[in-house]
Amino acid sequence: MIQEIKGGICAVDGVKAFGIKEGKFGLAVITAKGNAAGVYTKNKVIAAPLIVTKENIEKNGGFLEAIIANSGNANAFTGEDGLKDANSMAEALAEKLGVDPEFIGIASTGVIGRKLHIEKIKEQICTVLPNLAATEKANDETMKAIMTTDLVPKGFAVEVKSADGNFRVGGIAKGSGMIEPNMGTMLAFVYTDADVRSEILHSSLKEAVRKTFNMIVVDGDTSTNDMCLLTATGKSGVAVHSFESACCEEFQTALETVLKELAKKIAKDGEGATKLIECTVTGAVSEEDAISASKAIVRSPLVKTAIFGNDPNWGRIVAAAGYSGADFDQTKITLEMSDGRGSVSLVSKGKITKNDEETLGQLKLIMSAEMIFIKMDLGTGGKETATAWGCDLTYDYVRINADYTT
C-alpha cells in the first residue's frame, strides 16, 4: 500500500536539509549518505555542475553524501572558470562536512552565461549548515531556496507498507520555464530509505524519469542544467537487491508516483500558466508513437493558446497529432475533452460527433477549468498508450521571458 505523507525529502530517514533565499540568490544543502544515481540534460551545452556531478558519481561507483544547489546563476557556458567554481562549491561543503568532495553532488539554476558568485555561496554555506534538520520546515526552506521563476515550491513523499517492511520515497523539484527536459526535470532531488542496490537504483530512476519527467512540456526548451539525483540511505532496512523481487516492483511504483506528482507540479507551475493539461493518447502502434503524439499536443503553441483563451478550436489538437510523426488514421480517430467532471465527445471513429453551438459552449466551459484532460485514440488499432502533461501559454510567459532581470 502506498500513501502520501508530509515532509518531502525530510520525511525520509537519513535525510537532513535546509536552504536560504537572499533576493534572487539561494542556496540549499541536503545531507544523506548512500548509493546514488543520476540523469542529466541532453542539451549539448552542459552546465559545469552537471559535468562535475556526473564525473563524481561515475568515479566513486555511485555514492553521495550530500548535495549543494544554488539558485540565481546557472553556471552554464562558463568554461574552465565554471568548472573550477563547481568544484569549489563541492570542496567548500566537503570541508565543512568532513567528507571527500567526490561524494558531493552539485547543482545550479538561474541565468546562463554569467560567472558564479562563489564567495557568496561560501558565505551561505556557513549560514545553512547549522540549520540542517529533518523537519517539514527544513524541507520547505530547501524547496524555496532552489526556486527561480517558480511561483510555488514543489515536493512530494510517500510511504510504502509492504510484506518486507515499510519504506519511504520523497522528492523535491524546481522548474517553471525551459521545460521539455527529455531526461528529467530542471532540478530534482529524490531520496528513499530503502536499501537499494546501485544497478537497481540506476535502472529504476531511468525508467521512472522516462514515464514522468520526460513527459512534461512547458515551452519546448531543454535546459542546460536539467538533473535528477536519487539517493538511497538504506535506513529503513528494507532491501531491494533483486530485479525480480516484489519489493523492487513496489519501489518502482513508489518512485514513479513521486516523480509523476513532481512532474505535474512543474507543468502546472509553468511560467505564466493558469491551467494544467493532461493528454492521454491510446491506440498507438508503438509506445514511441504514443509519446510523440501526446507530447506534440501539449507542446503545440496553438493548442496551448486556445486553452488559455477558452477557444473551443479543437481542430488544433487533431492537427498536432497529425504532424507528430505517429502512425495515425484520421478516418478512425477519437477525441474527447474533459475537466474531470463533465466531458465532451468531439470525434468518434473519424466522424465529428457534434460541432454545434451547444457543444462548443460545453467545450468552452470545460476549457475554463484549472485542469483539462485530452483523450485521443489514434485509430490504428494499436495497444500502446502514453500520457503527457503541459500548460497553457499566456501573455505572462512572454512578459517573464522578456525581462532581462529574471
Residues involved in catalysis: 185
Task: Using CB atoms within 10 Å of the CB of residue 143, give its burial: 0 to 12 exposed, 13 to 18 middle, 19+ buried.
Answer: buried
Which among 194, 234, 190, 231 has a CA at the least distance from the CA of 209? 190
What lies within 8 Å, CB to CB, of 146 at 6+ separation is: 19, 26, 28, 69, 71, 107, 109, 172, 174, 187
Task: Using CB atoms within 10 Å of the CB of residue 100, give its burial: 0 to 12 exposed, 13 to 18 middle, 19+ buried.
Answer: middle
What the block records as the C-alpha cell of 151 is 511561483
What the block records as the C-alpha cell of 329 is 488514421
What the block records as the C-alpha cell of 79 is 568554461
Strand bridging mode 276-284 / 384-391: antiparallel
Q: What is d(CA 347, CA 302) in angstroms, rounded to the nearest whole number? A: 19
Write down how long the chain is.
Answer: 406
Q: What is d(CA 140, CA 34) in angstroms, rounded to the nearest whole number? A: 23
Cβ atoms of 375 and 385 closer than 8 Å: no
